[in-house]
Amino acid sequence: MLIPSRNRGGLSRRRFVTGLGAGGLMAALPRPLQAHTPAAGQVPPTARARWDLRVGRTRIEIDRKVLHAPCIGEDVPGPILRWRQGDTVSINVTNTLADEDTSIHWHGLRLPAAMDGVPGLSFAGIPPGETFTYRFPVTQSGTYWYHSHSGMQEAQGLYGAIVIDPPVPDPQPCARDYVILLSEWSDVSPMDMLSNLKMQDDYYVFRQRTLASLPREAREAGSTLAALKDRLAWSRMRMAATDIADVTGVIYTYLLNGHAPDMNWNALFSPGERVRLRFINGASMTFFDIRIPGLEMLVVAADGNAVEPVPVDEFRIGVAETYDVIVQPREARAYTIFAQSEDRTGYARGTLAPQPGMSGPIPPMDPRPVRTMVDMGMDDMKPGESMNGMAMPEHGHDMSASHSHSHLMPHHEGGTMDGMDMTGHAPQHPMGGMQPTTPQQTPHRHDTPTPRHEEGAMAGMDMADMQPAGHGHAMPMSEHRVDEPVHHQPAGRMHRPGAMDHDAPAPGTMPVLEVDDPGPPPLNVENQNIARMPTDRLGSPGDGLEHNGRRVLNYRQLRATRPGSDPRPPTREIIMHLTGNMERYIWGFNGRKFSESGPIRLRRNERVRFTLINDTMMEHPIHLHGMWSELENGQGAYRPYKHTLISQPGSKLSYLVTADAPGLWAYHCHLMLHMETGMFRTVIVE
Ligand SMILES: [Cu+2]
């Protein structure tokens, strides 16, 4: 079906740029952006090793939202940088901002620590009026991106794409090659977002469950009483089952290559051609679910690295991830690239078409995901079932008065519900069935989903090596309140053979694995929940995408096209809990924010396993700078190399790292406001 674009002729263009730097009348008048950047998303025809980038603020209006955006070359996104593997690139970054430092971080790039662009770790930042020259050899190829690591400039526009040519001919040659950079646009400053979220965690969520939705919930839960109990359970946890994203389409316009949905970014193809689409999630807070109705997408690369092609209808892209997909449209018609935000409050959209100006049908948005007990790390529970075992924050109660989730049920202070003891004497005395962690609950297996309650599920697991005398998980709960995530005392450290790694050689040849385990995080103002039974969710495409009738990519399907470069098994495992208090809007690792934590120290060339246990109700895209994160997803030596990994709520996953890059590196959640409020660590490779 051909639908004429209502943007044809430019009458409804919603995007204007006003240069602040240039003088004269022209600069004062808004001008259409299309004239400014006719080639948004077009990969430059050739690679270059030398670049000059100017960072400044530019008045840009998109979708009636005016922003003096910090950006490069007066545009959002900044230019696509095309490099060639094997070259040494040299990039002069000049800061023309009036009174703030800037920086550029090259996301996913392996380079000397001093070139990584994180102020305070890599270098001092770039003061106003000064130029910093980044210079480093390019040792990899694929799709990456860059962004500011200063303040929250990234959230407002300081980002762009990087495309690196491989030294050999592309094994997946395509007639067309486009970057699809997704991001957000808002005239609310990130600082205001943060203060609003600290005041009220669901400030930007206007889709709570209502009285009207109760009959449907009752049908799903089996009875009205069960539905009410479920609601009460959620209200006791002071979370809403509908909280999917912290910041939503209420204030965001979602952009595709800097274009609002009604601007309909488009790209051309001739029927039958193979078209490479390099998807980059350059948003600061939004996950997108992407599909092109009528077209199969062949996923050929993840985070810049080639994977065995996976045909899909849809995939979720977490903040900071990249995926290359190849499509082959055969009909001479318009195809819509549809990227709905995970919470379904909006979408970015563009069009692939045989002629400019065409527009394909825009599908309705899917139902929004609803968080379940799986997301709590308690998938053994049914809605309305006993909340016995629910761990709650000690300081939760003094918050409830100001809390305004529109639940029907009152907040019963000090009440009980099916054995849920909410009296708040945590953390030393965990609630109900929240026992001191037993070996059965922390098997540290990476090849199987975490077993559930049934004793039978434990059959065949040899727990003997899990219980060194006086060490590890047989400790009383209180002794698990280890402060230091890494350099803590023997309470959280144990040794065991590394034979648990499914990717490793046969038992008997394994070195001893040293485990840095802080134990369950403390329950306090900085941490609301412990995932009692975190599960392996690598086979799940993510909340809201299961059983939707489409083939949706999941992490288990990612298989590298060549074996990993370091076959050594890990000699150390570092267990990190992702924690937070949604209500206070504090995020951290192991129940602590950045300011209360020491660095993670890795020995040079050490082979380490990081295990992430997500105790929160949200996905977190976790990014380690400078080194690859090799996801242990059951693909053996062909595990995919990633720079950013989505940790799903209530889940547990692990990845291997070779600490081959000396220096100071950032390690953080890539949701901007989570990083800002504490989900950040320094990694030192010494
Ligand atoms: Cu996060």
DSSP 484-505: -SSS--GGGEEEEESTT-TTS-
In a domain, 533, yes or no: yes
Where do the DSSP E strands lie in 509-662? 512-516, 572-581, 586-589, 600-602, 607-614, 620-624, 629-631, 641-642, 644-647, 652-658
Neighbours of 333 (CB within 10 A): 16
Task: Say yes or no: 121 and 187 in one domain.
Answer: no
pTM: 0.78
Distance from residue 619's CA to the centre of ligand 1 (Å): 7
Inter-CA distances, 266 with 8, 258, 335, 343, Å: 12, 12, 10, 25
| Domain range for 142 | 50-169
Q: How far is the CA of 318 from the centre of ligand 1 (A)?
A: 11
Residues 196 and 329 occupy one common structural domain? yes
pLDDT beneath 70: ranges in the chain: 1-38, 205-217, 220-221, 227-242, 379-511
Q: Where are the alpha helices (DSSP H) in 347-410?
A: 397-400
> Ligand 1 center to residue 673 CA distance, Å?
8
Question: Are 567 and 662 in the same domain?
Answer: yes
CA of 670 to the centre of ligand 1 (A): 6
Residue 199 sits in the same domain as residue 150: no
CA of 620 to the centre of ligand 1 (A): 4
Expressed in angstroms and rounded, the spacing between residue 17 Cα and the centre of ligand 1 is 32
Note whether 162 and 145 are within 8 A (CB). yes
Regarding whether 625 and 554 lie in a shared domain, the answer is yes
Going by DSSP bridges, is the β-strand pair 620-624/644-647 parallel, antiparallel, or unpaired? antiparallel
| Ligand 1 center–CA 259 separation, angstroms | 26
CA 615 / ligand 1 centre spacing (Å)? 11
Together in a domain, 144 and 293: no
**Among the three residues 369, 391, 420, which one is the final residue of a domain in this structure?**
369
Q: Are residues 181 and 60 in the same domain?
A: no
Q: Does a structural domain hold residue 583?
A: yes
Could you tell me the CA-to-CA distances from 613 to 245, 407, 644 in Å, in that order? 20, 29, 15
Looking at residue 446, its pLDDT comes to 36
d(CA 31, CA 1): 32
- If you measure from the C-alpha of residue 120 to the centroid of ligand 1, how many angstroms do you get, rounded to a whole number? 21
Q: End-to-end alpha-carbon separation of the chain, Å?
A: 60
**679 CA to middle of ligand 1, Å?**
7
CB-CB contact of 189 with 288 (8 Å): no
Note whether 68 and 160 are same-domain residues.
yes
User: For residue 39, how far is its CA from the centre of ligand 1 (angstroms)?
Assistant: 33
CA of 225 to the centre of ligand 1 (A): 34
Count CB atoms within 10 A of the CB of residue 598.
Answer: 15
Is residue 682 within 8 Å of 121, Cβ to Cβ?
A: yes
The Å distance, Cα 628 to ligand 1 centre, comes to 19
What's the gap in Å between 675 CA and the centre of ligand 1? 7
| 257 and 325 belong to one structural domain | yes
What's the number of domains the chain is made of? Answer: 3
In a domain? residue 419: no
Asked which of 353, 369, 385 is the last residue of a domain, the reply is 369
One domain for residues 198 and 163: no
Residue 619 in domain: yes
User: 17 lies in a domain?
Assistant: no
Distance 416 CA to ligand 1 centre (A): 31
178-191 residues labelled b (16+ CB within 10 A) or e (exposed): bbbbbbbbbbeebe
Query: Do residues 108 and 80 share a domain?
Result: yes
- Ligand 1 centroid to Cα of residue 189, in Å, is 19
Predicted local confidence at residue 200, as pLDDT: 77
Distance 669 CA to ligand 1 centre (A): 5
DSSP 167: S
Q: How far apart are CA 673 and CA 585, in angstroms?
A: 9
Alpha carbon of 588 to ligand 1 centroid (Å): 8
Residue 283's nearest CA partner among 679, 666, 672, 616 is 672
CA distance 149 to 164: 21
pLDDT value, residue 237: 52
CATH number at 246 reads: 2.60.40.420
The confidence score (pLDDT) of residue 494 equals 59
Q: Compute, in angstroms, the gap from residue 612 CA to the centroid of ligand 1.
A: 12
- Cα(672) to centroid(ligand 1), Å: 8
> Cα(424) to centroid of ligand 1, in Å?
25
DSSP one-letter code for 552: B
Last residue of a domain, one of 369, 395, 411: 369
Q: How far is the CA of 262 from the centre of ligand 1 (A)?
A: 30
Q: How far is the CA of 244 from the centre of ligand 1 (A)?
A: 12
Report pLDDT for 241: 55
Whether residue 414 lies inside any domain: the answer is no
DSSP code of residue 526: T
Going from the Cα of 671 to the center of ligand 1, the distance in angstroms, rounded, reads 5
Structural domain contains residue 10:
no
Reported as type and span, the H/E element at residue 65 is strand 65-72
CA 613 / ligand 1 centre spacing (Å):
13
CA distance 127 to 472: 48
Of residues 261, 318, 256, 259, the one with CA closest to residue 284: 318
SS3 215: helix
Packed helices 224-236 and 214-221: angle between N→C axes, nearest 10 degrees: 100
In a domain, 384, yes or no: no
Distance 249 CA to ligand 1 centre (A): 18
Counting Cα atoms < 13 Å in the Cβ hemisphere of 142 gives 26
φ/ψ bin of 170: left (φ > 0), alpha (ψ from -120 to 50), beta (otherwise): beta
Strand blocks (E) in 399-446? 416-417, 420-421
Distance 552 CA to ligand 1 centre (A): 23
Distance (angstroms) between ligand 1 centre and the Cα of 543 equals 16
User: Ligand 1 centroid to 581 CA: how many Å?
Assistant: 11
148 and 180 belong to one structural domain:
no
Residues less than 5 Å from ion ligand 1, measured at CB: 620, 669, 671, 674, 679
What is the distance in A from the centroid of ligand 1 to the CA of 172?
34
